[in-house]
Amino acid sequence: MPTTASTALPLKDVTTSNSTLRRYLHGLPGVDAVGLEARAASLGTRSIKTTAKAYAIDLAISMVDLTTLEGADTPGKVRSLGAKAVRPDPTDRTAPATAAVCVYPDMVAVAKESVAGSTVKVASVATAFPAGRAALPVKLADVRDAVAAGADEIDMVIDRGAFLAGNYLKVYEEIVAVKEACGASARLKVIFETGELSTYDNIRRASWLGMIAGADFIKTSTGKVAVNATPANTLLMLEAVRDFRAQTGVQVGVKPAGGIRTTKDAIKFLVLVNETAGADWLDNHWFRFGASSLLNDLLMQRQKLTTGRYSGPDYVTVD
């Protein structure tokens, strides 16, 4: 079993200065964009039926980070989301609980209370989500607040401005500082906002940078920009965590977020996980979906499999 990333950081020597870090990240092999997209597309053509489909749906439900990140979030909405996470289908108690609920820091206490006594974790976005444009002390205070309120997981955003300007060490040090603020209790997910990184090469570099800095999870996006999780960029990140474990022995999780709305899409992602990173990642400790409407589609498909008739949006909760 691989160790967690919290102890000695791997590849410590590449982070001594910005130039060594830059040399290391730019020394990573370039991404064959056409090949990557073709591979992701071909893995999306697998036909998953009957018992395998039932297994995949339950696995996907158990991997959902049920998310609400709106300015209009109320305690009532967060509580109903928590209730839904604990028991997604009130008409069928065999439906598994989701992995976590994902909220803004000020809603962590409410979310924590609403999932008390269950396996559902509370994840909080932090570090001036979604733009990440704030001073480091502000970001760290944001993280400490969320952890103090009981967050089990912290979803941070990297400073894309610094990353794109080539200031990798700044990004690295920020992730290290946030990881420290998370303490031993909270797992850290690092959001790259792949839609703003422009190239696949940048996504590969960001993945390695995040993992070297001690991320427990690498996450595609915030869900707040035009391009979110795609099969191709998730495949790229899965290759990164696979190679990172092979090189350092440390296993890191992956979380695609935003834009995954249908059961069909979710199952395609699970195929990517199994074929790229391997079965070790087919567990909600190592793979998550950041989503809100996906859960309803998974539940409707689940009802279709158990009852034999197509379900409709009138039979799942609207959150």
Helix (H) or strand (E) holding 12: none
Supply φ then ψ for residue 65, to 5 degrees: -95, 100
Q: How far is the CB of 234 from another protein (least distance, A)?
A: 25
Q: Closer to another protein by CB, 147 or 316: give it.
A: 316
Handedness of CA 70, 184, 168, 201 (dihedral sign): negative
Residues 261, 311, 317, 319: which binds another protein (CB under 8 A)?
A: 311
Supply φ then ψ for residue 287, to 5 degrees: -145, 135
Q: How far is the CB of 314 from another protein (least distance, A)?
A: 7
Q: Closer to another protein by CB, 55 or 315: give it.
A: 315
Q: From residue 57, how far is each of 134, 263, 266, 284 by CA, in Å?
A: 39, 7, 8, 13
- Amino acid making up residue 59: L
- Radius of gyration in angstroms for the set of CA atoms belonging to the chain, rounded to a whole number: 19
Binding segment toward another protein, per CB under 8 A, in 10-18, 116-124, 267-275, 304-312: 304-312
Decide: is 309 part of the binding site for another protein (CB under 8 A).
yes
* Contact letters for another protein, residues 188-227 (x by CB under 8 A): ----------------------------------------
Compute the C-alpha angle 35/160/236, nearest 5°. 20
Decide: is 314 part of the binding site for another protein (CB under 8 A).
yes
Query: Is 32 part of the annotated catalytic residue set?
Result: no
Q: Closer to another protein by CB, 107 or 299: give it.
A: 299
Query: Is 219 part of the annotated catalytic residue set?
Result: yes
- Give the three-class secondary structure for 14: helix
The catalytic residue among 89, 155, 159, 216 is 155
* Contact letters for another protein, residues 257-296 (x by CB under 8 A): ----------------------------------------
Decide: is 71 part of the binding site for another protein (CB under 8 A).
no
Compute the C-alpha angle 286/291/292, nearest 5°. 140
Residues 67, 308, 317, 318: which binds another protein (CB under 8 A)?
A: 308
The catalytic residue among 219, 265, 268, 297 is 219
Helix, strand counts (H, E) of the chain? 12, 8
Decide: is 315 part of the binding site for another protein (CB under 8 A).
yes
Q: Closer to another protein by CB, 137 or 312: give it.
A: 312
> CA–CA separation, 48 vs 181, rounded Å?
42
Decide: is 312 part of the binding site for another protein (CB under 8 A).
yes
> CA–CA separation, 141 vs 134, rounded Å?
11
Residues 50, 94, 310, 318: which binds another protein (CB under 8 A)?
A: 310
Decide: is 313 part of the binding site for another protein (CB under 8 A).
yes
Q: From residue 159, how far is each of 148, 171, 193, 222, 265 by CA, in Å?
A: 24, 6, 10, 13, 29
- Number of chain residues interacting with another protein (CB under 8 A): 8
Residues involved in catalysis: 155, 219, 255
Which residues sit at the interface with another protein, rule CB under 8 A? 308-315
